[in-house]
């Protein structure tokens, strides 16, 4: 059995050292608890609500940043997926996710479907989500809004993904009492239709007035919720 830990954190906008410490603690705690796969939120290294590209660039990391090596050193036999603001070698900014193991950065995926004001800051990625053969199964990495596009999730399922891993930041929207967030319903239907597990790690807190759903969820291949975080 593979144990997945989704760490629903509350990163602080622009606070790279503080966010790095939060990530250190989350990875250390999850691995100590027996997690094989550790998932953290979208843009967890930087925060999300950038005013403009200049603010984002000041909080961006390149995939060869020494910080990734620090996190990799905490993993042992586990792997981690986390979202970060990427300073690309082409000079562009990307909303990206990195998959790490004890040896360092295994792969970087750049979000292809940018949502709302993200288009004012980031460049969309040009590559489909990678399928990664890890010691804990075949993983497909996506970022947040990508999960809303059935042609993308179906593509990785047909290609052999066993688990879709998605760092997310889901803004809080009104919903009827007792209902799951719409994004969680999408994750459940994606899992059920494609017979693939889904682990979506949301964030908590409020950033520049934006409340977050706190909708972190692990869904089994039958579409049922195996675990969820709730508020906080």
18, 43, 153, 182 from 217: Cα distances, Å: 25, 18, 17, 12
Long-range Cβ contact pairs of 223-231 (< 8 A, separation 24 or more): 223/188, 223/189, 223/191, 223/192, 223/193, 224/188, 225/184, 225/188, 227/6, 228/184, 229/6, 229/8, 229/202, 231/204
Average pLDDT, integer, range 52-63: 98
pLDDT band at 28, cuts 50/70/90?
very high
Q: What is the pLDDT of residue 1?
A: 87
Mean pLDDT for all residues in the chain:
97
Query: Could you tell me the pTM of the whole model?
Result: 0.97
The answer to whether 121 touches 92, Cβ cutoff 8 Å, is no
Helices (H), ranges, 73-181? 150-159
User: How does pLDDT run across 116-133, given as a tens digit for each residue?
Assistant: 999 999 999 999 998 999
Whether the per-residue pLDDT at 141 is higher than 90: the answer is yes
The label of the residue with tokens 């981690």 reads 80
pLDDT band at 113, cuts 50/70/90?
very high
d(CA 9, CA 83): 12
Average pLDDT, integer, range 72-99: 98
């Amino acid at each position: 059995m593979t144990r997945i830990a989704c760490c629903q954190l509350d990163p602080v906008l622009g606070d790279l050292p503080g966010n790095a410490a939060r990530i250190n603690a989350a990875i250390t705690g999850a691995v100590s608890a027996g997690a094989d796969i550790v998932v953290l939120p979208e843009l967890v290294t930087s925060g999300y609500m950038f005013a403009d590209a200049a603010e984002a660039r000041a909080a961006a990391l390149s995939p060869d940043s020494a910080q990734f090596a620090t996190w990799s050193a905490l993993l042992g036999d586990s792997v981690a997926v986390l979202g970060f603001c990427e300073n690309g070698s082409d000079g562009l900014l990307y909303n990206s996710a990195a998959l790490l193991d004890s040896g360092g950065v295994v792969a970087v995926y750049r979000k292809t479907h940018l949502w709302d004001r993200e288009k004012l800051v980031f460049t969309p990625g040009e590559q489909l989500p990678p399928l990664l053969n890890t010691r804990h199964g075949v993983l497909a990495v996506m970022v947040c809004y990508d999960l809303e596009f059935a042609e993308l999730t179906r593509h990785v399922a047909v290609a052999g993904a066993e688990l879709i891993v998605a760092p997310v930041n889901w803004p809080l929207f009104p919903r009827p009492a007792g209902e799951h967030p719409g994004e969680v319903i999408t994750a459940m239907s994606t899992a059920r239709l494609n017979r693939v597990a889904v682990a979506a790690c949301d964030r908590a807190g409020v950033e520049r007035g934006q409340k977050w759903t706190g909708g972190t969820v692990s869904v089994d291949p039958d579409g049922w919720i195996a675990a969820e975080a709730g508020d906080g």
